[in-house]
């Protein structure tokens, strides 16, 4: 996606985004000032909303599971850019902004998932995320003075459909992971992973390309 296309996509498809020029620089992969008040405030509001998610209790919903799930989805909709109603996230989880994250159908994440979404994180359908996983689009200049000045960059992460992340996986900025991939526990993903690959290690290496089983036919 081109830089100008990212801005257009965000405006048309993402909810809860800050309306500030520095935000649009940030999501395009341009240098931006992370200390800017509007961005700092947006991060703090998102952090507070993530913390509040853990306070949604089924006991406050008359032990009604449907009402409980609806309350959780309503809360998550105020954090993320675009999600589906069947999302299931264990608390706690953490985001930088939340608004830059798009999540497909039947998503599940276990405890302590972290999204550093300074630009777009796009996740497909039927994705499973184990505990203590991190998706970080953010990076910093090598020049120390630029870091002191609050200069950051960010590059998008794209995850396809039917991907499984084991416990403790870290996915770095600019990575695309293909449909059906399996990322083994503790893996540090620094490069793109092709479809149906098994990727393990630090740094992650593809050790196998799987042949997915065919879907079972259903009796009519």
Label the pairing between strands 170-171 and 188-189: parallel
Establish if 158 belongs to a structural domain.
yes
Q: What is the pLDDT of residue 2?
A: 66
**pTM passes above 0.85:** yes
Establish if 220 belongs to a structural domain.
no
Q: What is the pLDDT of residue 156?
A: 96
66-107 pLDDT per residue, tens: 999 999 999 999 999 999 999 999 999 999 999 999 999 999
Residue 19 pLDDT grade (very low, low, confident, very high; cuts 50, 70, 90): confident
Establish if 213 belongs to a structural domain.
no
Establish if 109 belongs to a structural domain.
yes
Average pLDDT over residues 153-165: 97
161-196 pLDDT per residue, tens: 999 999 999 999 999 999 999 999 999 999 999 999
Establish if 218 belongs to a structural domain.
no
Q: Residue 217 above 70 pLDDT?
A: no
Average pLDDT over residues 26-33: 94
- C-beta separation of 172 from 136 below 8 A: yes
Q: What is the pLDDT of residue 220?
A: 45
116-133 pLDDT per residue, tens: 999 999 999 999 999 999
C-alpha pair distances (Å), 141 with each of 105, 112, 117, 216: 36, 27, 17, 50
Q: What is the pLDDT of residue 39?
A: 93
Domain total in the chain: 1
- List residues with catalytic annotation: 140
- C-beta separation of 118 from 10 below 8 A: no
Instruction: Give percent of the chain above pLDDT 70.
Output: 96
**27 contacts: CB under 8 Å, gap ≥ 6:** 6, 7, 10, 100, 118, 119, 120, 154
The parent domain of residue 116 ranges over 3-207
Q: What is the pLDDT of residue 50?
A: 97
- C-beta separation of 200 from 184 below 8 A: yes
Establish if 188 belongs to a structural domain.
yes
CATH number at residue 164: 2.160.10.10
**179 contacts: CB under 8 Å, gap ≥ 6:** 124, 160, 161, 162, 163, 195, 196
Establish if 217 belongs to a structural domain.
no
Residue with tokens 């993530």: 50
Distance CA 49, CA 17 (A): 14
Q: What is the full DSSP assignment across 131-180? A: TT-EEE-EE--SSHHHHHTTEEEE--EEE-SS-EE-TT-EE-TT-EE-TT
* Higher pLDDT, residue 143 or 218: 143
Establish if 219 belongs to a structural domain.
no
Residue 214 pLDDT grade (very low, low, confident, very high; cuts 50, 70, 90): confident
**Angle between helix 65-77 and helix 37-53 axes, rounded to 10 deg:** 170
């Amino acid at each position: 996606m081109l830089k100008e296309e990212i801005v257009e996509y965000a405006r048309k498809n993402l909810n809860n985004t800050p309306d500030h020029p520095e935000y649009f620089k940030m999501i395009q992969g341009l240098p931006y000032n992370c200390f800017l008040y509007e961005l700092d405030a947006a991060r703090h509001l998102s952090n507070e909303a993530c913390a509040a998610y853990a306070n949604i209790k089924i006991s406050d919903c008359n032990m009604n599971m449907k009402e409980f799930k609806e309350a959780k989805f309503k809360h998550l909709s105020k954090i993320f850019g675009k999600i589906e109603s069947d999302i299931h996230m264990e608390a706690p989880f953490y985001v930088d902004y939340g608004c830059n994250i798009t999540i497909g159908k039947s998503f599940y994440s276990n405890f302590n998932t972290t999204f550093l979404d300074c630009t777009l994180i796009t996740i497909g359908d039927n994705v499973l995320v184990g505990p203590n996983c991190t998706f970080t689009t953010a990076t910093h200049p090598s020049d120390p003075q630029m870091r002191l000045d609050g200069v950051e960059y960010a590059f998008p992460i794209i995850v396809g459909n039917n991907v499984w992340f084991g416990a403790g996986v870290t996915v770095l900025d600019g990575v695309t992971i293909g449909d059906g991939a399996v990322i083994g526990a503790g893996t540090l993903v620094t490069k793109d992973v092709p479809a149906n690959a098994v990727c393990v290690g630090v740094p992650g290496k593809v050790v196998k390309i799987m042949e997915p089983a065919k879907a079972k036919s259903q009796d009519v």
